[in-house]
Structure 1
Amino acid sequence: MGMAIIIGKTDNLRAFEFFNIVNKSSSSLKLKNYYTEIKIIGDSLILKIDSISEPQLIDMFSYTDSVMYATKFILKPSDTIIFEIKNKRIHIKGEKANEHNFYSNLKDSTPNYMLNSYKGNIMEYKSRVDSIYNKKVDFFNRYIKRLNITSKSFIKYIESDLKYWHIFELTNPRTKKTKNSIYLVDPDGLIPIIQKEYSTGEKLFSIKNYLGNITVDDFKDESHLNMLSYKAALPTLIRCHFETSDYPRYTKEKLLAEKAVIEYNFNEEIKEYTLASLIATYHDKGFGYSKESASFFKNIINEYSKQYPDSQYTKDIQGFIDDIGYFELKLPESALNTKLLNKYGDTLTLGEIFSGSNKRIKVIDFWASWCPPCIDEIKKEKDFKDALSIEGNVEWIYLSIDKDIEKWLKKSKELEKFLNVKNQYLVLEGTNSKLGKFFKVNWIPRYVILNKENEIILNNAPRPSDTQIFKQIIDNIK
């Protein structure tokens, strides 16, 4: 174990006001702030990190009104990192500066995977991904040769990291475009795209030709668990390559099949992470929306918790049991009496809204005018939502947690062709309301599904744009 110290100077003091670092090698399913103590003295920052036992991949970032500063580097036990924020860049100095600045130089000198999107032909997408990977590998080889970097641990780490990110990009095609022309990965990975593109049967898809000769043995080095790239690539690879059954996605049978692959092939350390990741993925996809699956899923989580009682992953997934506990649970009177404001200035309660939607399934969408993902989701799949309203007897209820009424009204006006005019409201007191506290609305967008009797089916449902899974949930509500 060792303590690491990070020391920085800046020509823009506001950069230190919003300074943070995240450990991307964390033994947690959630990215967290990663420091023990931070001090800002004049134009200098001193940050201490306790108890580092192995190399960690660190994201260091800050922002001001007009500039985003970001870099990442490998932090080792007892390291002292000295950096400078100047001319809109973060530059690391010192003896190992060439190693610590590698990722920044790689980003500046090679194409960005996040600008590379799937355009309807998966093999053409693969060709572009392979090209980007080859350019990154070529840059790395020239970089270590030009700067005479001989550290075997550094070279091994980067080679593996680049390889795993390449696999991740292949198994998670980028399909979702943001306002900044950055593409996000498809939430379901490769399989739905292959099924759609090769549905006619006129041509066959070979996963081996697509991924290359990747085997389970390529993922058996537990030391790679300190790489985010490894932890990102392995779960999807299990789902689309190592597990070969034809069971439908996100079903009990598929979960057990994937679980069996993990338990048969990997040692305890890798199983500890990968099983937790499997549970988290199924939870995110809304698994547990029936009495049978809720009980089954709770048993899976409890089984994991008994097997790994001291794991950070256990702490991360224990909260899922609370979500399952909401199944067919009635909203308390305090939540039903939460005051809402409609766009005409009238105040009413959630209970009054429900009384006007008797015998309909209800989907509550918690959102806010300042939340880009919320707005992006509201705009998506309007035809799908309209069809569910008619065919699935679904009532969509949009609840904003905005604090500023005028901003809510303005954004609602901009979105009026997507929002249900009848069922959009502002939650008075927002997340501090009885409704907000009952559902623990600590993040948005957030979706809650209730059945026709106003019993909670899912406290944390998948996004409606995940149409196949979302419709499956609605279809199974009696």
Structure 2
Amino acid sequence: MRKIIFYIVLVIVVFSCNSKNNSNHKKIKDINNVKKGKVLIIGKTDDLRPFNHFSVLNASSASLIHGNCITDRKVIGDSIVMEIDSILEPQLLHLTSWSKDFKYRATFMAKPNDTIIFEIKNKRFSIKGEKADEHNFYSSLQDSTPRYIHNPYKGSIIEYKSRVDSIYRKKVGFFNKYVRRHNITSKLFIDFVESDLKYSHIYELIIPRTQKNGDSFYLAGPEELFTIIQKEYSSKEQLFNFKDYLGDITIDDFKDESHLNIGSFKSALSVLIRNYFDTSDHPSYSKEKFLAEKAVIEHNFDEKTKEYAIASLITVYHGRGFGYSKKSVSFFKNVIREYGKKYPDSEYTKEMEDFIEDLNSFELKLSQSALNTKLLSKNGDTLTLGEIFNRSNKRIRVINFWASWCPPCVSEIKKAQNFRDKLSVKNSVEWIYLSIDEDEKKWLKKSKELESYLNIRNQYLVINGKNSSLGRYLKVHSIPRYIILNKQNQVVLNNSPHPSDSIVFKRIINSIE
């Protein structure tokens, strides 16, 4: 009881600090406004370092490009209050932090106006409070059942399905026992978890995990289900039966708009449209394929689902490099503008504006200040990007922003080496590797480890990294980042697919004259 009183007092103290000079009536009004449609995460710790690194990912947020959704945080002594904005329906939140070599993770369903209370003690993260059993479920599920991220496709899609189905059954079994053991009666919680588990299972089937990331994690690769089936069944006499593989899934299973607050529903819907509901045979990520998928969405769903699904469609095509020619850029801009007119108050407006800005960079030459960005060579020499360009003419160039501390960057460099070498010879592609490391020694050490994968000559450290003139001009906010320039040093794609997405990447390179 004392802990509960402490946390109540802490919340009042923290939010009253925001308006010291206002009246008591104003303070109470502000607190009520903060609580409306929001979630508070309140914690106490015996190690203050994690408080500097907390982030919360909202798997069901309006944003199509997920990021840290903490809108405010206050630290008082050994306690913290974090505020999550615009939680109007149940959402799945992923909380992470770290201290030295120890990582803290928790996943929980949060409802509007929830208060999540946690404690870090002896390197252990635990959620307390009245709804602790509900809030601890997902972390208990991860600890007690196999995880999909450890389950890769190994060459047989049927064998892969068997393992995915087995994991799903174990998760459902654990959930049913957990509900009974903790006497959970909340229909909202039970319906949310049951639906989330179902849609997560469908997503795992339709997007096999083919790419290793770290020691034991696997991610979905660029080769989607249809491509994998083509490879696996091209020499077999029998045909692949999608219905047997996916079960009795129909488009009607995705018409309940109330499930749009479940991240796995959104993910499963998008990939099913691409790989199952759209039955056209147009080339992947072509204009014709885009229009076919868009038609499926427009003919089958109500407005709220259309708003999400078309925005997701645009996002995926942008990520896969659609818009690398004058015709496709013009078409894509028109599609995005039409979307803006149809959904002027869309939750996804920010992403659409960013895509238009990216497309506007097509055939744009780097500014003089960007070309004058100072780079440090492995030998300790200082030079500019413009000087590197002047070494050779009439070559397609690919700039890769990376860093020693970025596992996806290192993984991409390793797995695409042979493909990059072929493009260098056949298409006269020059690869330029620009590290945004702050620590020169760490960059040199990692560069030494990767010397068999990298072009030794074209490796540089960007002085001031993302804050350099080049980083700001190209808006390098995240890595790995690949930028393709044509033979006139004009931007073809400001945020291109990775080289490991070899089919799409080669199509782009081949289109450059």
What TM-score, normalized to structure 1? 0.96
1:211 aligns with 2:246: yes
Structure 1 pair 5/408, CA: closer, same or farther in 2 (3 Å)? closer
Structure 2 contact 404–443 (Cα < 8 Å) conserved: yes
Per-residue Cα deviation, 1:92-125 (whole angstroms, up to 9, x for no partner)? 2232222121111111111111111110000000
Deviation string 1:125-183 (CA, Å, 9 cap, x unpaired) is 00000000001111111111222222211111111000000011111111111223111
- Superposition deviation, residue 46 in structure 1: 2.5
Aligned to 2:175: 140
> Given the alignment of the two structures, is residue 300 of structure 1 paired with residue 335 of structure 2, yes or no?
yes
Match of 2:481 among 426, 446, 453: 446
- Where does residue 11 of structure 2 map in the other structure? none
Is 2:314 the partner of 1:276?
no
Q: CA RMSD, aligned part only?
A: 1.7
Please tell me whether residue 433 in structure 1 is matched to residue 468 in structure 2: yes
Question: How far apart are the structure 2 equivalents of 1:52 and 1:338?
Answer: 42
Q: Find the partner of 2:75 among 40, 50, 61.
A: 40
- The question of 1:107 aligning with 2:130 is answered no
Is 1:225–2:260 an aligned residue pair?
yes
Q: Is 1:154 aligned to residue 189 of structure 2?
A: yes
1:233-257 residue CA offsets vs partner (Å, 9 max, x unmatched):
1111111100011101000000000
Runs of 4+ deviating beyond 4 Å: none
CA shift for structure 1 position 412: 1.8
Task: Classify the secondary structure of the residue corresponding to 1:329.
Answer: coil
Which deviates more from structure 2 when the two are superposed, residues 13-22 or residues 255-264?
A: 13-22
TM-score of the superposition, structure 2-length normalised? Answer: 0.89
**1:122-141 equivalence runs, <5 A:** 122-141=157-176
Equivalent residue, structure 1, for 2:284 = 249
- Distance in 1 (CA, whole Å) between partners of 2:38 and 2:317 is 37
Contact 1:398-1:425 within 8 A present in 2 as well: yes
**Pair 1:334-2:369 in alignment:** yes
Distance change (3 Å), C-alpha of 1:195 and 1:423 = same
Q: Flag structure 2 segments of 5+ consecutive residues without an equivalent.
A: 1-35
Q: Per-residue deviation at 1:222?
A: 0.9
Matches within 5 A, 1:463-478: 463-478=498-513
CA 1:229–1:341: 2 relative to 1, 3 Å: same
In the superposition, relative to structure 1, how do residues 105 and 287 fare at CA in structure 2: closer, same or farther (>3 Å)? same
CA contact (8 A) 1:69 1:90 kept: yes
1:10 aligns with 2:45: yes
- Which residue number corresponds to residue 412 of structure 2? 377
Residue of structure 2 equivalent to 1:402: 437
| Pair 39,426 (structure 1): closer, same or farther in 2 beyond 3 Å | closer
* 1:352 is aligned to 2:406: no
Pair 1:177-2:212 in alignment: yes
State how far apart, in whole Å, the 2-side matches of 1:476 and 1:322 are.
Answer: 22
Q: Is 1:198 the equivalent of 2:233?
A: yes
Q: Which position in structure 2 is the counterpart of 1:418?
A: 453
- 3-state SS, counterpart of residue 492 of structure 2: strand
The whole-number CA distance in structure 2 between the counterparts of 1:256 and 1:51 is 33
Contact 1:57 1:75 (8 Å CA) reproduced: yes
How far 1:50 sits from its partner (Å)? 5.1
User: Between the two proteins, what is the percent identity of the paired residues?
Assistant: 64
Q: Is the 8 A contact 1:304 1:314 kept in 2?
A: no
**Could you tell me how far 1:2 is from its partner in structure 2?**
4.0
Aligned partners of 2:488, 2:86: CA distance in 1, in Å? 52
Residues paired across the two proteins, number: 478
Q: How far does residue 36 in structure 1 lie from its aligned partner after superposition? A: 4.2
Partner amino acid for 2:272? L
Residue 271 of structure 1 deviates from its aligned partner by 0.8
Where does 1:256-267 land on structure 2 (aligned, <5 Å)? 256-267=291-302
Q: Give the C-alpha shift of residue 332 in structure 1.
A: 2.1
In 2: Cα distance, 1:45 partner to 1:290 partner:
50
Q: Is the 8 A contact 1:84 1:92 kept in 2?
A: yes
CA contact (8 A) 2:213 2:407 kept: no
CA contact (8 A) 1:357 1:395 kept: no
Letter in structure 1 aligned against 2:492: I
Equivalent position to 1:285, from 304, 320, 330: 320
Distance 1:155 1:23 in 2: 19
What SS does structure 1 have at the residue aligned with 2:348? helix
Post-superposition offset of 1:8: 2.1
CA distance in 2, matches of 1:391, 1:222: 49
